């Protein structure tokens, strides 16, 4: 038996040591991030940890690929800040649950495959922008609150923080050269933790952000009016949450595919994300999606199976229930150092080496996507704009490729041989190829090296046919592919052209 309920691949070799240690490392890095984003949005701190547990566990078991880590990610939380301020947390829970329904529908209708339309320059921009965002978000831990005012650390507290962060980064860099039996990031966290405890070093800890003590996530139906007015309020947020979560999730899935040399299931990931968000909405979670930083921590620690994600989620739950006093003492400097190293390794440094070999429009798209990601923190918008610009550039380049070769045969019939696709972008150049006034009475347009792609192309054929008809001349189309002929047949109410049926050749057996 290879699979049970299509959930687990029992033929996969699992390194249990790597998976368990990777899961513990992921949990350590996920807790402060989930707490920070929850506090940023104005949620109770435990709402962030519940999201990390629920999203992490559900997607680890049911998600589209092993090795990917989900949690209470900032990408989705930022979308909900406005709703939280205007209507409160009950509406947030409802919006998260409805967003999960949208994500499940996208998975069921198999729309996850459209992530393949994201070009490589957009991927470069997305990854580089996200690396900068991860790095910059760690700088917030170098701030403190004094008399209600947020200010940068100064003097001894700053030097201690910098020293511990530098020590963490040094361990992460050097330890793999000694051994790879234990994840370097986990070793760095433990060593710095031990130093702070043994030498009683006064520095910022997890409990300085918020308490992580709590119980099991309670079942809770969002306390909102069940009306059309409520739906109008939450639905736009739900759609954006779904789009942002799936965009980050499916791009992370593609990134993991590249790193591991395997292939995930995008539609299954959509359904898993949606299911986790529905549970978030009914169990006090702020919603979430795959987290690229924690995913890279997980892969860097040697995880390649689902076990690490399950261990990480369960560890977060155990810490909420029993481990808060210990984890609360964990120095933030250790976690900041690990996340900074994740940002540095996430950045596609190779993009600088190939930048002078890339087309200028690809360079522009990559930089634009990175800037939008950094400035607005809106990954979905950044990727959408990048895809649109790339599509427009492709359409423009394709439009320039259409050309025509013409000659008159021995019967006095003029032939136009069209090269390149005929679509909305190339119709103007296509119409300019013909000399209606001076052409003979019979015209054949040869589409052997071209294709009629859309309604604009059909309208262009209709226009050129009308122009020749006004001059009492006949136009025939030749060598149309089967799908092009079907397109014209479907539009016969709009266009009336003569199509030369090409002979069908069959092999005699």
Indicate whether 352 and 429 sit together in one domain.
Answer: no
List the 498-499 sheet strands across, edge first: 403-408, 414-419, 442-449, 474-478, 498-499
Domain boundary among 364, 392, 420: 392
Domain match, 101 and 133 both: yes
Q: What per-residue confidence (pLDDT) applies to 1?
A: 38
- State the pTM of this model: 0.70
Domain identity same for 447 and 322: no
Residues 312 and 435 in one domain: no
**Residue 123 covered by a domain:** yes
Q: What is the pLDDT of residue 40?
A: 67
151-202 pLDDT tens trace: 888 899 999 999 999 999 999 899 888 887 777 888 888 899 999 999 999 9
Alpha carbon of residue 81 to chain centroid: 20
* 347's tokens: 């950045």
**Would you put residue 336 in left (φ > 0), alpha (ψ -120 to 50) or beta?**
alpha
Residue ranges making up the domain that contains 210: 16-392
Cα(157)–Cα(13) distance, integer angstroms: 46
**What gap in Å lies between CA 91 and CA 478, rounded to an integer?**
60
Does residue 5 fall inside a structural domain? no
Residue 499 lies in a domain: no
Residue 137 lies in a domain: yes
Same domain membership, residue 438 and residue 363: no
- Residue pLDDT, tens place only, 401-423: 889 999 999 989 999 999 988 88
Contact present, 278 and 51 (Cβ < 8 Å): no
Among the listed residues 361, 443, 434, 436, the one whose alpha carbon sits nearest the alpha carbon of residue 394: 361
Same domain, 418 and 366: no
Q: How many helices and strands, by DSSP H and E, does the chain display?
A: 19, 11
**pLDDT tens column, 334-356:** 888 887 887 888 788 877 887 87
Residue 306 falls within a domain, yes or no? yes
**Which residues lie closer than 8 Å to 388 by C-beta, 6 or more apart?**
none
Which of 346, 364, 392 is the C-terminal boundary of a domain? 392
Alpha-carbon distance of 265 to 478, in angstroms, equals 42
Q: Are residues 421 and 364 in the same domain?
A: no
CATH number at residue 416: 3.30.750.24
* 417 φ, ψ (degrees, to nearest 5): -95, 115
Using CA atoms of 450, 452, 456, 460 in order, give the dihedral in degrees to the nearest 10.
Answer: 70
**Which stretch of DSSP H or E encloses residue 78?**
helix 74-87
Ranges of residues in the chain with a pLDDT under 70 are 1-11, 40, 74-75, 78, 115-116, 378-380, 487-488, 490-509
Separation of alpha carbons 51 and 49, rounded Å: 5
State whether 292 and 337 are in the same domain: yes
Which residue, chain included where needed, has tokens 């009914």? 282
- Same domain flag for 113 and 206: yes
Question: How does DSSP classify residue 217?
Answer: P
Q: Is residue 487 part of a domain?
A: yes
Distance CA 238, CA 230 (A): 12
Do 241 and 175 share a structural domain? yes
504 lies in some domain: no
Looking at the structure, do residues 32 and 92 belong to the same domain, yes or no? yes
Handedness of CA 214, 168, 306, 243 (dihedral sign): positive
| Residue whose token pair is 């040094």 | 170
Distance of alpha carbon 471 from alpha carbon 121, whole angstroms:
49
Query: What SS3 class is residue 477?
Result: strand
Q: Judge whether 508 lies within some domain.
A: no
Structural domains counted in the chain: 2
Domain endpoint, select from 334, 368, 392: 392
Residue 154 and residue 269 in one domain: yes
CA distance 9 to 17: 18
Question: CA-to-CA distance for 147 and 16, rounded, in angstroms?
Answer: 48
């Amino acid at each position: 038996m290879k699979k049970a309920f299509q959930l687990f691949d029992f033929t996969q070799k699992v390194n249990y040591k790597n998976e368990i240690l990777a899961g513990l490392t992921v949990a350590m890095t996920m807790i402060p991030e989930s707490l920070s984003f929850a506090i940023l949005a104005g949620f109770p701190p435990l709402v962030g940890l519940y999201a990390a547990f629920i999203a992490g566990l559900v997607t680890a078991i049911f998600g589209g690929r092993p090795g990917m880590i989900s949690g209470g990610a900032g990408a989705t939380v930022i979308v909900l800040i406005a709703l939280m301020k205007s209507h409160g947390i009950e509406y947030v829970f409802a919006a998260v649950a409805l967003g999960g329904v949208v994500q499940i529908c996208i998975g069921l209708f198999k729309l996850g495959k459209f992530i393949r339309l994201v070009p490589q320059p957009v991927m470069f921009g997305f990854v580089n922008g996200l690396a900068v965002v991860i790095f910059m978000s760690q700088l917030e831990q170098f701030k403190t609150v004094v008399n209600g005012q947020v200010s940068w650390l100064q003097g001894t507290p700053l030097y201690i923080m910098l020293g511990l962060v530098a020590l963490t980064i040094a361990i992460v860099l050097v330890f793999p050269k000694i051994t790879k039996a234990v994840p370097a990031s986990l070793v760095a966290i433990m060593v710095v933790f031990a130093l702070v405890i043994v030498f009683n070093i006064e520095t910022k800890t997890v409990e300085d952000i918020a308490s992580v003590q709590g119980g099991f996530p309670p079942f809770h139906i969002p306390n909102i009016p069940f009306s059309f007015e409520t739906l109008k309020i939450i639905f736009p947020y739900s759609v954006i949450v779904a789009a942002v979560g799936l965009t980050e999730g499916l791009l992370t899935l593609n990134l993991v595919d590249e790193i591991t040399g395997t292939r995930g299931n995008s539609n299954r990931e959509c359904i898993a994300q949606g299911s986790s968000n529905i549970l978030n909405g009914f169990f006090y979670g702020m919603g979430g999606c795959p987290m690229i930083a924690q995913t890279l921590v997980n892969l860097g620690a040697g995880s390649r199976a689902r076990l690490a994600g399950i261990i990480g989620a369960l560890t977060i739950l155990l810490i909420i229930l029993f481990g808060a006093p210990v984890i609360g003492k964990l120095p933030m400097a250790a976690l900041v150092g690990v996340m900074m190293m994740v940002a540095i390794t996430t950045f596609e440094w190779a993009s600088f080496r190939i930048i002078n070999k890339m087309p200028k429009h690809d360079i522009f798209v990559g930089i634009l996507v990175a800037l939008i990601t950094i400035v607005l923190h809106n990954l979905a918008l950044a990727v959408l704009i990048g895809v649109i610009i790339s599509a427009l550039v492709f359409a423009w380049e394709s439009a320039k490729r259409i050309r025509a070769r013409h000659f008159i045969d021995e019967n006095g019939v003029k032939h136009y041989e069209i090269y390149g696709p005929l679509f909305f972008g190339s119709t103007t150049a296509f119409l300019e190829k013909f000399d209606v006034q001076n052409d003979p009475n019979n015209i054949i347009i040869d589409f052997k090296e071209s294709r009629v792609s859309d309604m604009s192309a059909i309208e262009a054929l209709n226009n050129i046919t009308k122009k020749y008809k006004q001059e009492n001349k006949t136009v025939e189309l030749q060598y149309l592919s089967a799908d092009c002929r079907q397109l014209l047949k479907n539009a016969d109410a709009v266009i009336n052209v003569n199509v030369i049926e090409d002979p069908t050749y069959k092999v005699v057996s």
